[in-house]
Structure 1
Amino acid sequence: MSGGSDEGPRRVGRPRADRLRAPGDRPPREELLCAAAELFTVRGYAATTTRAVAERAGMRQATMYHYFGGKEELLAELLESTVAPSLALSRRLRGETGRPAALRLWELCRSDVLLLCGGPYNLGALYLLPELDSPRLEPFRRMRDELRDNYRALLEATPLGAELAGDTAALALRNDLVFGLIEGVMLIRRSDPARPVAAFAEAAADAALRIAGVAPAR
């Protein structure tokens, strides 16, 4: 995923010719992102150096700086990749009128869980990092806030949303519970990685709709 940010990566120098990657491997940026995803989620963000990321990707540290300005830039792109597909889907579902809102909300919840838990690395765990307050991660935070707002728009269109129309605090609480449940599944997934992701995503979506006050609807 690359959600993309408002500013491109800082270019430092030119790529060196002493690359260690074998021909036919993934493009350098993808290699670096995969290496960072593995190291950030297994070793820890604070404990991972840019040198370690470059070596894991099979290249020199100087080469890495041609594609990314540093560790924080890698983190930003990885985080945006956990939101961008769900954000695009939520915009489309929010604009639909031919299906019940509960069904659209269920679809968004299920898809979001598949995105957060379906990859080889538990990228959702990066949401717990204290570094999320960094100014460089502002694009990610804006994307995440818009996704939360789209969850709320779908919730407002359900029968429960109609009942709570005059109680904004209660509606906001329900939405925070639904959104928190979907993002929190990464912790459950981490404790039992062998659980089938598809069944896990459907169960999480069912639970989210119960919080939303409607019966699960496929």
Structure 2
Amino acid sequence: MGTGGGRRVGRPRVAQRPDSGLSPRDELLLAAAELFTTRGYAATTTRAVAERAGMRQASMYHHVAGKEELLAELLESTVTPSLAYARELLADEAAPAGERLWELCRTDVELLCGGPHNLGALYLLPEVRTERFAGFHAVRAELKDAYRQLLAATRAGGALAKSELDLRTDLVFGLIEGVILVHRSDPERPVSVFAEATADAALRIAGV
């Protein structure tokens, strides 16, 4: 891409932030994460995301279709690592189910509350209820089912009727996702301590 002989204004269309080492798409995701969680999703324009990522708005569309695609990918990024870990825990039948459930709760909270941006807060957006985010909802439902399977594998969970097991799963899963609001109220709280305390509380709710 030529720049001409004059002074270059701004950054080239697909320039990365200095020393970031990120791809243009990852730069856009990072910019979107920052802006969506600080300015709000509705108030953030595609132009603002592109400029924060160091490119022109027209160049942004070479990498993503728009704001909804960025939001969908950010949402899924808060769930897919926990789901992958949940599958590992489900397969590890040598460890007690209660310990595996506790570990899933702990790591899930650390994921939701870790990182420089409170991405979990994006769950609360009204836009997320639309069909466009069906992929996120499908992955989230699969993660919730992993919680249910681990709870059912415990001695206490195995003794529950299906309706009671479903209710306990809803309560535990609701507690884990509820940390989004608690974390937002006190973002300086040490995440590791918070995660362990939440996992302890989740198991008490589960009756494990």
Of the three residues 47, 66, 69, the one matched with 2:65 is: 69
Using the alignment, how far apart are the partners of 1:40 and 1:144 within structure 2?
Answer: 20
* Change beyond 3 A, Cα 1:127–1:22: closer
Using the alignment, how far apart are the partners of 1:71 and 1:129 within structure 2?
Answer: 13
Asked if 1:176 corresponds to 2:182, the answer is: no
| C-alpha contact (below 8 Å) 1:125/1:187 kept by paired residues | yes
What percent of counterpart residues are identical?
68
- 2:85 is matched with 89
- 2:53 is matched with 57
Using the alignment, how far apart are the partners of 2:196 and 2:178 within structure 1?
Answer: 15
Of the three residues 150, 166, 171, the one matched with 1:154 is: 150
- 1:143 is matched with 139
Q: Structure 2: where are the runs of 5+ without partners? A: 1-10
Give the alignment of 1:94-109 within 5 angstroms: 94-109=90-105
CA deviation string 1:136-191 (max 9, x = no partner):
21111110000000000000011221220xx2111111000100100110111111
| C-alpha contact (below 8 Å) 1:86/1:112 kept by paired residues | yes
Shift of 1:71: 0.3
Shift of 1:132: 1.4
Q: Structure 1: where are the runs of 5+ without partners? A: 1-15
SS in 2 for 1:39: helix
Using the alignment, how far apart are the partners of 1:22 and 1:112 within structure 2?
Answer: 30
Using the alignment, how far apart are the partners of 1:139 and 1:123 within structure 2?
Answer: 17
Give the alignment of 1:19-34 within 5 angstroms: 19=14, 21-22=16-17, 24-25=19-20, 26-34=22-30
SS in 1 for 2:62: helix
After the TM superposition, which of the residue ranges 150-159 and 16-25 deviates more from structure 2? 16-25
CA deviation string 1:11-35 (max 9, x = no partner):
xxxxx95445455332211111011
SS in 2 for 1:69: coil
Asked if 1:123 corresponds to 2:119, the answer is: yes
Asked if 1:79 corresponds to 2:75, the answer is: yes
Asked if 1:207 corresponds to 2:201, the answer is: yes
SS in 2 for 1:91: helix
Of the three residues 29, 35, 49, the one matched with 2:31 is: 35
* Change beyond 3 A, Cα 1:132–1:47: same
Q: Over aligned residues, Cα RMSD in angstroms?
A: 1.4
Using the alignment, how far apart are the partners of 1:195 and 1:134 within structure 2?
Answer: 33
| C-alpha contact (below 8 Å) 1:151/1:179 kept by paired residues | yes
* Change beyond 3 A, Cα 1:93–1:19: closer
SS in 1 for 2:95: coil
Asked if 1:196 corresponds to 2:190, the answer is: yes
| C-alpha contact (below 8 Å) 1:20/1:60 kept by paired residues | no
Question: Structure 2 counterpart of 1:24, which letter?
Answer: D
Using the alignment, how far apart are the partners of 2:23 and 2:71 within structure 1?
Answer: 18
Number of residue pairs aligned between Structure 1 and Structure 2: 197
Q: Please say which structure displays the higher CA radius of gyration.
A: 2
CA deviation string 1:40-85 (max 9, x = no partner):
1111111111001001111100111111000000001000100010
After the TM superposition, which of the residue ranges 32-41 and 19-28 deviates more from structure 2? 19-28
**TM, length-normalised to structure 2:** 0.91
Question: Structure 2 counterpart of 1:202, which letter?
Answer: E
- 1:110 is matched with 106
